């Protein structure tokens, strides 16, 4: 009996494709963000508000993942930016190969920002690198304050947490300070922006996005 | 519930590794799973049994090493286990400590029958 030391990542194949994508994104100076949350936290609504506010000179594209239906792509297409739906057909996450496949016929040199809306799920998408610059986790105030403690991986891996639906705070027993404290305890450096589709925090979110994009354009290494 | 895709990735890599080792008979595979890997170890074991059943890998044993989350303090250099998500440094109180272990999802080794 002898032992062979392997020491390889289990998701090596995904990692390889993600690294190739990351190189392509860097070459073309595209900011790529991967938004992850539970189903119903408001990812698509946030994207609607974002696309609505974006300067039309910005070249933005959206990949949106769901198990079934083209509904989200239809909702997002009305703002005039290219949107593609990735139907996973039951798979609970997006992987790098799906991103590669859906980008194959999009000219990357014509793009400034690629927004990836992952499948609504706080667990599985965490394990798959898509070549993005950063992951963003969204938590809505109709969920529990302890979500960061229950699903720590995604909060650890996300650079930014969007606390959404804050316009509902007066009506729900949600302790926003505790939620933020929980997020910071699992990820001490996490940035947090409170948002609502009614408008609160959207300026701060757009500013965050603009600053990220500016950093990518000057070739700064944004975290990977 | 992506443990089944994770098991498939393990088996794909083992197929490749077996080729590289001229068809050697692997008896055991050792995985390393961090507590922040987003993988449920029981689901992984169950998925593993399902995937190898009635295949040439049927007799492969699975060993999982679970890796706890560890942090390093940038102020005093203490390294500690972050229990119950308490990431502040137990030695000096610094809050912005750095993650150094717990995200692993690796194939550590295989054992070969010779």
Look up the ipTM and state it.
0.84
Q: Is the pLDDT of residue A221 over 70?
A: no
Residue of chain B minimizing CA distance to A11: B9
Residue of chain B minimizing CA distance to A188: B96
Rounded to an integer, the average pLDDT of A9-37 is 95
Work out the end-to-end distance of chain A between its first and last CA atoms, rounded to an integer number of angstroms.
Answer: 40
| B109 touching chain A per CB within 8 A | yes
The values of phi and psi at residue A93, to 5°, are -155, 165
| B43 touching chain A per CB within 8 A | no
DSSP bridge pairs for A120: none
| B27 touching chain A per CB within 8 A | yes
Q: Do A185 and B87 touch (CB under 8 A)?
A: yes
Rounded to an integer, the average pLDDT of A210-220 is 90
| B64 touching chain A per CB within 8 A | no
- Minimal Cα–Cα distance from B75 to chain A, Å? 14
Q: With pLDDT > 90 as the criterion, what percentage of chain A qualifies? A: 79
pTM to 2 decimal places: 0.89
Q: How far apart are CA A197 and CA A214, in angstroms?
A: 25
| B8 touching chain A per CB within 8 A | no
Among candidates B27, B36, B114 on the partner chain, residue whose Cβ is nearest the Cβ of A156? B36
Q: How many CB atoms lie within 10 A of CB A155?
A: 26
Band of residue A94 on the pLDDT scale cut at 50, 70, 90: very high
Residue of chain B minimizing CA distance to A155: B36
Provide the pLDDT for residue B45: 95
Mutate to test the interface with B, among A3, A6, A17, A184 (most CBs of B within 10 A): A6
DSSP bridge pairs for B111: A3, B28
Decide: B69 and A149 in contact? Cβ < 8 Å. Answer: no
Residue-wise pLDDT tens digits, A191-203: 999 999 999 999 9
Q: How far apart are CA A77 and CA A98, in angstroms?
A: 20
The values of phi and psi at residue A168, to 5°, are -90, 0
| B58 touching chain A per CB within 8 A | no
Q: How many CB atoms lie within 10 A of CB A40?
A: 13
Among candidates A6, A14, A149 on the partner chain, residue whose Cβ is nearest the Cβ of B107? A6
Residue-wise pLDDT tens digits, A158-172: 999 999 999 999 999
With a cut of 50, which residues of chain B have pLDDT below it?
A: none
- Joined together, the tokens standing for residue B23 give 């068809």
Q: Do A5 and B109 touch (CB under 8 A)?
A: yes
Q: How many CB atoms lie within 10 A of CB A94?
A: 26
Higher pLDDT, A36 or A70: A36
Provide the pLDDT for residue A1: 78
- Joined together, the tokens standing for residue A103 give 């980008």
Q: Do B10 and A10 touch (CB under 8 A)?
A: yes
Q: Average per-residue pLDDT in chain A? A: 93
How would you list the strands of the sheet with B98-101, edge to edge?
B79-81, B70-72, B98-101
Q: How far apart are CA B13 and CA A16, in angstroms?
A: 13
Task: Write the Ramachandran bin of B18: left for phi over 0, alpha for psi from -120 to 50, otherwise beta.
Answer: alpha
Rounded to an integer, the average pLDDT of A60-85 is 91
Q: How far apart are CA A141 and CA A171, in angstroms?
A: 10
Q: Is the pLDDT of residue A224 over 70?
A: no
Q: How far apart are CA B84 and CA A135, in angstroms?
A: 23
Decide: A136 and A33 in contact? Cβ < 8 Å. Answer: yes
Provide the pLDDT for residue A222: 56
- Joined together, the tokens standing for residue A204 give 């701060």
- Minimal Cα–Cα distance from A158 to chain B, Å? 12
Rounded to an integer, the average pLDDT of A39-65 is 93
Buried b (16+ CB within 10 A) or exposed e, A2-28: eeeebeebbbebbbebbeebbebbbee
Q: How far is CA A204 from each of CA A115, A159, A160, A188, rounded to the nearest angstrom?
A: 17, 15, 12, 20
Provide the pLDDT for residue A9: 93
């Amino acid at each position: 009996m002898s032992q062979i030391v392997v020491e390889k990542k289990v998701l090596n194949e995904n990692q390889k494709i993600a690294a190739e994508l990351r190189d392509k994104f860097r070459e073309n100076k595209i900011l790529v963000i991967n938004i992850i949350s539970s189903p119903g936290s408001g990812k698509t609504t946030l994207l609607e508000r974002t696309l609505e506010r974006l300067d039309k000179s910005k070249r933005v594209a959206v990949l949106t993942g769901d198990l079934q239906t083209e509904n989200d792509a239809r909702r997002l297409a009305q703002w005039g930016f290219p949107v593609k739906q990735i139907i996973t057909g039951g798979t609970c996450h997006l992987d790098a190969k799906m991103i590669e496949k859906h980008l194959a016929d999009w000219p990357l040199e014509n793009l400034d920002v690629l927004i990836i809306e992952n499948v609504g799920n706080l667990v599985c998408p965490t394990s798959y690198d898509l070549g993005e610059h950063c992951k963003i986790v969204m938590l809505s105030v109709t969920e529990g304050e302890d979500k960061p403690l229950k699903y720590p991986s995604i909060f650890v891996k996300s650079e930014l947490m969007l606390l959404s639906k804050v316009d509902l705070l007066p009506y729900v027993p949600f302790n926003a300070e505790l939620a933020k404290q929980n997020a910071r305890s699992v990820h001490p450096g996490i940035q947090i922006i409170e948002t609502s589709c009614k408008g609160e925090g959207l300026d701060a979110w757009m500013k965050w996005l603009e600053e990220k994009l500016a950093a990518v354009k000057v070739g700064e290494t944004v975290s990977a | 519930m992506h443990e089944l895709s994770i098991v498939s990735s393990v088996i794909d890599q083992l197929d490749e590794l077996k080729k590289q080792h001229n068809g050697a008979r692997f008896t055991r595979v050792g995985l390393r799973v961090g507590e922040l890997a987003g993988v449920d170890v029981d689901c992984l074991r169950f998925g593993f049994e399902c995937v190898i059943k009635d295949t040439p890998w049927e007799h492969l044993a699975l060993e999982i090493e679970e890796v706890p989350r560890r942090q390093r303090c940038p102020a005093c250099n203490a390294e500690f286990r972050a229990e119950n998500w308490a990431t502040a440094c137990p030695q000096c109180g610094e809050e912005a400590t750095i993650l150094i272990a717990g995200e692993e999802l690796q194939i550590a080794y295989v054992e070969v029958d010779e």
